[in-house]
Structure 1
Amino acid sequence: MAGSKGWEGVVLKLMKGKDFTFTVTGAEDVTADYRRVSFTDGGLLAAAGEAPHPTMWVRVWFEGAGRPHQRAYTLVDPDPVAGTFSFEFALHDGVASAWARGAKPGDTVDATVQGTGFTAPQPAPQRLLVIGDPASLPAINSLLDAYPQTPATIWFETQHASDADLPLRVDAARHEVRCVTRDGAALADRVKAELPDLAGDPASAYVWLACDTATTRTLTAYLRKELGLPKHRVNALGYWRPAAA
């Protein structure tokens, strides 16, 4: 991306963020509302100096209305040897989705890496309790891949009929998916009604949560204050904010 990245770029530089340029190698529509774009990594994975960790993400810069906008995306199937990975876009109205819809081989996009660690829960969870939506699907899949033998219950919020065809990497023998249609507080209400029966001992339960910021905030407070889960047993991050009406 030509030109300055604005005040956000200045802040990331002060926080020792490293910049990389990714080059598109291909793109495909997974569904009418979900698109996968593949890249060469511009040296990112080699510079990381360690194996990619679950939910690894970077800040990507997109041009819109004459200025840069940064959005965070999870690396999908990173291959350090080949220097490749993909991003998956839950399509909506916005600068990142607009870019993804038109992405073609040879296109480039800039990214900044600053703080993308993952701390494995200790003791290891007996069951993963996962709450998310299409925007966090890549991170959910990477988490399931990292714990291939661990049972999981996934509350997955959907918006489009096509979301039923999204590539959740679940095994019916170990994973249970509970779909919730997006409708106000429906996801939070469903989780509050059902999660306590699965959480067991708060000291050993593990909840991974990433959806819209309001729902994430509501459920994080519920898990910590009402269910008594310790801070290190709840991994929560607000992935997006609803567009203003």
Structure 2
Amino acid sequence: MAHGWEGAVLRLMRGKDYAFTVIGTEQVTERYRRVHLSDGGLLAAVPPHPTMWVRLWFAREGKPHQRAFTLVDPDPVAGTFALEFALHDGVASDWARTAAPGDTIEATLQGTGFDQPEPAPARLLLIGDPASLPALNSLLDAFPATPATIWFETPHPTDRVLPVRTDADRHDLRLVERIDDGGHLLKQVRAELPAVLGDPETAYIWAACDTATTRALAAYLRREAGVPRRRVHALGYWRATA
């Protein structure tokens, strides 16, 4: 598939193209699907890091469209990883619903990275939802001994059983129903975060929800909660539509 002007821009930015092959699938819930893939040489060329992501290419009405997805359990030795899809209407979900062993998908690696917080976090404060669950889990894996409080927004009742990789001894998982287009999540974080924040200089806050909610969270954390910009990572993972 030709990647159009977006692909041309990514090539200019030294993006690297790969082809992944489906080796298995899992239906985690009715609205969440995991696709296992061989990496086409990706992990041998670029060692994995927390929240590592790639751009997958899909065709819609004959035109190329790219969407970003976080690698799940990347294994450089086996050359495999998984991708997880919060299913909704769209070309990526349509592909995931029908993906079968032997299918291939084109991808570009460009833009991924992770800045290790210094000093190491005394506590993780993570705010996410089904779309950002793979990245959230990768952070829990990367800091296995660090206490964490997780606010996890659940747009649908089945999202409450999604596999958040928590340990009861170190992690406090708070499931938050999606109400008022993310307003309920924002209200709950504002009410509860001061009690668990501790020293803002040693906390690490990671927020990845819909773009508008994430923007509001970032403003609150920096302007009202007094968390230094370098201790906050906030990135909108999707855009809510009317």
Q: Choose which of 124, 130, 153 in structure 2 pairs with 1:128.
A: 124
Counterpart of 2:96, as a letter, is A
Q: Secondary structure at the match of 2:217?
A: helix
Q: Secondary structure at the match of 1:19?
A: strand
Question: Counterpart of 1:80?
Answer: 76
2:145 and 2:231 map into 1 onto residues whose CA distance is 19
Q: Choose which of 175, 179, 193 in structure 1 pairs with 2:191.
A: 193
TM-score normalised by the chain length of structure 1? 0.96
* Cα displacement (A) at 1:28: 1.2
Question: Counterpart of 1:242?
Answer: 240
Counterpart of 1:11, as a letter, is V
Counterpart of 2:232, as a letter, is V
Q: Secondary structure at the match of 1:68?
A: strand
Q: Secondary structure at the match of 1:73?
A: strand
Question: Counterpart of 1:14?
Answer: 12
Question: Counterpart of 2:90?
Answer: 94
Instruction: Please say if residues 123 and 202 of structure 2, whose CA atoms lie closer than 8 Å, have aligned partners that are also in contact.
Output: no
> Structure 1, unaligned stretches of length 5 or more?
none
Question: Counterpart of 1:44?
Answer: 42
Question: Counterpart of 1:114?
Answer: 110
Q: Choose which of 22, 32, 35 in structure 2 pairs with 1:34.
A: 32
Deviation string for 1:147-204 (max 9, x for gaps)? Answer: 1111100000001111122111101111111111111211111111111221122222
| Mapping 1:194-233, distance limit 5 Å | 194-233=192-231
Question: Counterpart of 2:59?
Answer: 63
Q: 4+ residue runs of structure 1 moved beyond 6 angstroms?
A: none
1:147 partnered with 2:147: no
1:196 and 1:62 map into 2 onto residues whose CA distance is 42
Deviation string for 1:59-78 (max 9, x for gaps)? Answer: 11111122111111000000
Q: Percent identity?
A: 68
1:137 partnered with 2:126: no
Q: Secondary structure at the match of 2:227?
A: coil
Deviation string for 1:72-95 (max 9, x for gaps)? Answer: 100000000110000000101111
> Structure 2, unaligned stretches of length 5 or more?
none
* Cα displacement (A) at 1:125: 1.1
TM-score normalised by the chain length of structure 2? 0.97
